[in-house]
Amino acid sequence: MERSRDIAGKLSRQGYRLTPQRVMILDAIENSDNHISAEEIYSQVVATYPKINISTVYRTLELLKQLGLIYEIDLGEGRIGYHPESRGHHHHLICRNCGAVIDVGESVLFPIQAILLQAFEFRADLRHLAIFGLCKNCQK
């Protein structure tokens, strides 16, 4: 819960009201071990707060994303997941066959950033990428 106070603190410092819905949405994101989807957040929050509707969840996620407090990732097949900024920068290798997700540190893509900078003078924001392919098992 410490970390959710963190996001909550940042939100209120920027002048956003901490409504009960927002706090519950923050807690759902902070407490999930993996990338949580808007639908999963909704079903958790609605269990204790039946008045919420899913568009509130979408709007809150959009706000948190704009403020840089959460990261969004496209996990393929229309699945969008979120996790808190406090989890640090990383990327994911996603197997398109079995769906396995392998986490890799952001430094793995530093060479690509360097190449893009050198060849195109382009400073790429490689913050939270899903790279699709086949895992070791599925290549057999």
The CA-CA-CA angle for residues 13, 19, 23, to 5°, reads: 80
Stretch that binds Zn ion, among 17-25, 37-45, 95-103, 108-116 (CB under 5 A): 95-103
* CB 61, CB 13: distance < 8 Å: no
User: Residues with Cβ < 8 Å from 102, sequence gap 6 or more?
Assistant: 92, 93, 94, 95, 135
Binding characters for Zn ion, 3-32, by CB under 5 A (x = yes): ------------------------------
User: C-alpha distances in angstroms, 27 versus 2, 54, 127?
Assistant: 10, 16, 23
Q: Residue 99 CB, nearest distance to Zn ion (Å)?
A: 7
Interface with Zn ion, residue 95, by CB under 5 A: yes
Q: Rule CB under 5 A: say whether 138 interacts with Zn ion.
A: yes
User: Which residue number, 36 or 52, has a Cβ lying nearer to Zn ion?
Assistant: 36
Out of 12, 34, 53, 97, point to the residue binding Zn ion (CB under 5 A). 97
**Residue selected from 34, 47, 76, 98 as contacting Zn ion according to rule CB under 5 A:** 98
Q: Which CB sits closer to Zn ion, 27 or 85?
A: 85
- For residues 38 and 58, give the distance between their C-alpha atoms in angstroms, rounded to a whole number: 7
The torsion angles phi and psi of 126, rounded to 5 degrees, stand at -100, 85
**Contact footprint for Zn ion (CB under 5 A):** 95, 97-98, 100, 135, 138
